[in-house]
Structure 1
Amino acid sequence: MFPEDIQTLAEAVIATAAARGLTLATAESCTGGLVAAALTAVPGSSAVLDRGFVTYSNAAKTRLLGVPAELIDRNGAVAQPVAEAMAAGARDDAGVDLAVSVTGIAGPGGGSADKPVGLVHFACASKAGVRHAVHRFGDIGREAVRLASVRVALGLLLDAAEAA
């Protein structure tokens, strides 16, 4: 279902989390659940993946993940503090060891001079804190932005699982 490199990354995340006894959750906006789908494509993923939140709307980010509406109003949904709050909210709500979040502009519309199409913010929350990453993939097409975002999110989870 997924390109081979994504499948390989997802397998590494599941294997590493399982070996370390870690549990995971995802909080996704522009990827629409693709990170969780990549993880659940791996046999044995149910041992580590607790849940995935698809919070496409701002209201869902607030209601399901506890992201303060004022934070979204002040920064917009595609911003570092929102990605961090999404990851922390998913980790807290699910009671898991690690949670990754993705919020961005996949296109083809929706971009601006400050926040162009292809801008994606990520965060990974663990007991050690929250790590943020931002990528500007450019206007490479909606599917390409979403798949590139899955790769980054899985990479963040793998790094966090290896460090745990």
Structure 2
Amino acid sequence: MLLCEDVGLKPYVCDVKFGVHSFRAIASKFAKDRNHTYFANVALEANRKLGGASHTLDAHKLGFIPGCKTVVVCVDVTHPSPGSSTNASSGAAIVASIDQNLTQWPAELCTQAVFQKMISRLDELLKSRLKLWAKQHRRSVSPEDVLIYHDAVLEGQ
């Protein structure tokens, strides 16, 4: 945990350059007289960054999902709101479960043509999540099942 007053490059250097998980807490906010909710949120963030689970699901109620055979994926596209810059683009995102308890969901984002509903790089984004899943499970093969959630699936996707 970095206690600092400025954003600076400290989180970037830790997370990106050296691959060390870090998170930043503003020293002045940390030093103030806070209630337990603030410190609970800081503890949850530290737990998440260290690979811990802040919640779990009852594996017996998940049907075929538990274990190391299924990856759950969610994809979505968001578009600029009215009044946005004329240079604004749409954003596409994907998250996928990488652990058997469905507690870790790394994301990947990309931009695409404004108001384009079909995710132009869906194959690339999905491959990156499947590779991450395989790495997490120390496997060279993809999961047996892929369950994809998407709020509006277009023909051809």
Structure 1 and Structure 2 fold alike (TM over 0.5): no
Query: More helix per residue: 1 or 2?
Result: 1
Instruction: Between the two structures, name the one with larger relative contact order (CA 8 Å, sep ≥ 6).
Output: 1
TM-score by length of 2: 0.33
Structure of larger gyration radius: 2
